[in-house]
Amino acid sequence: MSVRVKICGITSLCDARMAIEAGADALGFILYPGSPRYVSPSSAAEILEALPPLVERVAVLVNPTAEEVKRIESLAGFSAWQLHGTESAAFCASLRPRRVIKAIRPPWPDREEFSFPSAALLLDSPSSSWGGSGKTLDWSLVRPFVERLRQPFILSGGLTPENASEAIEQTHPFGVDVASGVELAPGKKDPKRVWEFVRRCKGT
Ligand SMILES: O=C(O)c1ccccc1NCC(=O)[C@H](O)[C@H](O)COP(=O)(O)O
């Protein structure tokens, strides 16, 4: 099975279409106003409405309230919810039956904590910002942690077209996620790097 690829930090329809054409399985929209890749829920909604089917549409949030999730849900057709802050396992579980992707960073939390079936874990690198840091995760920390996980995991943190193959070989993720490694500038994707990233990840 080829590795699923999520291109994160999409801010325009043009970049969304380009990433899908390149072979991305999922697109991430950062609804956190502090991010240089911020897109408002209403702008994201316009992009989502113009997209073809069979593409995962991921809302990326930092410490949202349940009301905020409901408000965004009423505006835009997201298919998964990526939580990038300090959300508890109980909060993630409270969002069921929505599909939740919980971002975590080393030192890893107790693996039992996030083992409910609707969740995937996204392993990101330690950083002083919430995400999109471009810092590479120490891949040697991954296998010992994921060995007994019951759900799939997504590798992220400093992935690029140049290091993607090695990262996948070392960690065997279900999926990979990239933001800054395929950009011309924060919030603007580089088509050449997106295509090359997907090609390296899927081995095509
Ligand atoms: O990218 C951001 O600006 C961001 C801000 C706040 C929360 C999450 C954010 N990004 C989420 C992602 O899924 C990134 O792809 C992930 O952190 C990896 O980023 P990068 O190291 O730049 O590939």
Q: What are 25-59's pLDDT values in tens digits? A: 999 999 999 999 999 999 999 999 999 999 999 99
Q: Tell me if 155 sits within 8 A of 176, measured CB to CB.
A: yes
**CATH for the stretch 4-202:** 3.20.20.70
27, 83, 84, 139: residue to mutate for ligand 1 pocket, most atoms within 8 A of CB: 84
Can you give the pLDDT at residue 117?
60
**Atom of ligand 1 minimally distant from the CA of 156:** 18
d(CA 104, CA 79): 20
**Atom of ligand 1 minimally distant from the CA of 36:** 3
- pLDDT top residue among 126 and 11: 11
d(CA 167, CA 73): 34
- pLDDT top residue among 160 and 152: 160
Can you give the pLDDT at residue 113?
73
159 within ligand 1 shell (Cβ under 6 A): yes
CA of 116 to the centre of ligand 1 (A): 23
Residue with tokens 């999926």: 175
Crossing angle for the helix pair 191-202 and 13-22, to the nearest 10 degrees: 30
Can you give the pLDDT at residue 149?
83
At 132, the pLDDT band (50, 70, 90 cuts) reads confident
Can you give the pLDDT at residue 118?
62
pLDDT more than 90, % of the chain: 80
| Mean pLDDT confidence for 126-151 | 87
d(CA 152, CA 174): 6
CA of 31 to the centre of ligand 1 (A): 11
**Does the complex come out with an ipTM higher than 0.85?**
yes
Can you give the pLDDT at residue 130?
82
Residue with tokens 């989502």: 48
187 within ligand 1 shell (Cβ under 6 A): no
Active site residues: 8, 124
At 116, the pLDDT band (50, 70, 90 cuts) reads low
- Whether the model pTM is above 0.90: yes
The encoded tokens of residue 12 equal: 């325009």
d(CA 25, CA 79): 12
Write down the mean pLDDT value for the chain. 93
